Every structure is written in C-alpha cells, then in structure tokens.
Amino acid sequence: MMDDYTLPFWIYLGVLTVFVGGAMKKILASHLSAASTLVAWLGATVLVERLWPFCLPAVLLVLLAVCLYYATRSSPLPSALPAHGKAVFITGCDSGFGNVTVKHLDSLGFDVFATVLDLKGDGARELQRTCSPRLTLLQVDITQPQQVQQALLDTKAKLGLKGLWGLVNNAGVCVNFGDAELSLMSNFRGCMEVNFFGTLNVTKSFLPLLRQAKGRIVTISSPAGDQPFPSLAAYGASKAALNLFTNTLRHELEPWGVRVSTILPSSYKTGQSSNHAYWEQQHKELLQSLPPALLEEYGEDYVTETKDLFQSFASQANPDLSPVVHAIVQALLAPQPQARYYAGPGIGLMYFIHSYCPFSISNRFLQKLFVKKKLMPRALRKQSGFDLHLSLHNNNNNNNEEKLK
C-alpha cells in the first residue's frame, strides 16, 4: 500500500511530522497545568490514531523526536550561577513585582540598585527597613531623561570598575480601560511614555555597563503585547512595541554575550488594581472627557459596565507574585536563560492556543477569558431594536396579505 504513494504525499508526511513534533514540543515547554497537559496529550493521541493507517513513518518519526526531547530534558541541568557580588538595577520598586523582587534578590546576595518614584513613600521605607545595607535606593521617573542619567552616574560611582550584571525593566503602567475609540489620546501617550520610551531610555543608558559584564536584560512585559485583549488597546500597543524592541535587542546583543529575556505574567494584584477609588476616578475622568455625541452612541451604562468588569477582573487576580519573582531569578542566574518565561497559570495554554489554533478560536478564547461584556453600545441596541420592530411589522403585513388572498 505504501509503495503506491507519490512524492507529494511524502512531502505532506514530512510537513505533518514537523507540525506535530513542534506542537508536542510546545506542549511540553509551555508550563501547562496537569489537566491542560493531559488534554493536549489526549488530543495528540486521537490525531495519531486517526493518521496511523496512513502515515506510520511520520508517527514513528514523531515518537522518536519526543523520546529525544525527553532524553534531553532528563539530562542534568547546569547549576545556577552564584548571586553573590553581582549587581542588578531594577525599575519600578515602590510596589508590586518590583518591590517583592528587590527583597528576594537582596536575600540571595545581589547588590541591588532599585528605583522608586518616592524615596519617602511606604514602599521605599519598607525596602530600607527589610533589606541589607547592600541595597541602593534611587528616586527615578523613567520618563525623565535627566533622572535616568543621574541614576546611571550614581550606579557607576558605586560599581567602580565592575560592570552591571542585570537590568530588570519592571516599571510600567496601565492607564486605560475601554474601547480604543473611547480611550483618550493622553492614555495612549502615557502608556507609550512609560512602558516603551521610558524602558527604551533606561536600557540604552545602561547597555555599556551590561556589555562590560556580559550580563542580562530582563523585561517584564504582558501577553497583551502579543494578543488583542479587548479594551486594552493603549496598554497592549505599548507592550507590543516593547516586545518587538526586546526581541530585536536579543539578536543584536548575542555577539556581546548579553542575554535578553522577557517575562510574561498572568493576572496579578499589583499597583492600583485593587484600589476601588482608582477605578472610580478613572471612570469619572473618562465620562467627563468624552465628546457628548460619542458618549451618546456608546452609552454611559456601556462605559460603566466596562469599568465594573475591569474592577471585578482585578479583584480576582492572583495575590501571590512568586511565579514572576522566580522567573526573574531564573532569567538572571540560569546559565542558559530562556528568551521567554510564562509566569503564572494559564499563560502557557493561552500562547499554545494563540500559536496553533485558528484565529477564530484564539480570538473567542480571549473574549471569554478577559472582559465578558453583555451590553452592546447604545446606538447598536437602538438599531437592533429598530430592526426587530421592522421585522415584526413586515411579518404582520405579510400575514395580512395572506389573509386577503
């Protein structure tokens, strides 16, 4: 039977082998939960069973590839690099990921340079109280070039002839919620200024020190920079620019021995996410700034529902930030750090669906996962009601005509 197959069929088998093998590798590398991994394996098993009578050679090749992959995984991993004596510069440490990471890095023996917006704030005082004398706190707004340059001078003065082992780009903001048409231009610019241009400026400023030490750049980004989350256009656009810059930098710095990694966290309680007053203030400012005609078309209830959904989503976020901290440490100390770390439950599965499923499926997955809106914009509701009324009217006319006949 197999002798009758033509060359195109063997090409098809080769392509199938590459696809299935790549899918299995992605499953194993995506940090999925046990249940998700089981589902993925069952799906692959069904696929193999269906194709078994037609492509036994391809299946055997896939099994061989999986065995080789497991053999590679089971080999002993090189031990982590020592933290003692290594200097790390990390931004955005007033709260959230940055604050927790500083404490952990300090406990491991790193010499930490941490930036805060307010040296007298609660976050800065907590770090001073809990960390060792090795910690250096710097007041820096990364959107202000002069402050970044001053932080560079202060860091150089303390390092002396020693280079900088790690730069952790953590500072970031998410100042918008709502449809792109409803998001203020100031929100788009604000996200870009902090998440992209601020991080870009810090990275370029500290690169000479990082190249000197053949060190690491670790950037906290977001899945919103790779996938179109509804109502996060401003934030997602800034993270998309950041992701592309980081990926490009990884290629350019490889000859210098500088390794570049991106951390992609799931949903966590950080910053203002659990602050009820913050959401109410953002909602109030948005309603006051929208043109009356645009607000009329969308409806105040539509905007309010979006705010409530965001607030509810934030309240259910994970308060345990340790997966992100662990990923940062791995990126700093692993002999061969990964280009990307999926930090938190569900992120690996999300990227697997995004990479291997049809667009319609991944798009619906995002809509069901994130902001589950029930209301349509007011203008569409009116249009829908008008169409329904018109349809009922036409049906009545048709029934009357039938009776006349």
Residues with catalytic annotation? 235
Q: Kindly tell me the sign of the dihedral angle through the C-alpha atoms of 108, 110, 115, 119.
A: positive
- Pairing between β-strand 259-265 and β-strand 340-343 as defined by DSSP bridges: parallel
Residue among 220, 308, 322, 215 nearest 269 (CA): 322
How far is 203 from 268, CA to CA, in rounded Å? 25
Q: What is the largest CA-CA distance in the chain?
A: 100
CA distance 348 to 226: 13
Pairs from 336-342 (Cβ < 8 Å, separation ≥ 24) = 336/78, 337/216, 337/259, 337/261, 338/261, 339/247, 339/250, 339/260, 339/261, 339/262, 340/261, 340/262, 340/263, 340/264, 341/261, 341/262, 341/263, 341/264, 342/30, 342/31, 342/264
Q: What is the dihedral sign for C-alpha 376, 380, 386, 390? A: negative
Chain centroid offset of residue 247 CA: 14
Closest listed residue to residue 43, CA positions, set 352, 370, 367: 352
Neighbouring residues of 297: CB distance < 8 A, sequence distance ≥ 6: 377, 378, 379
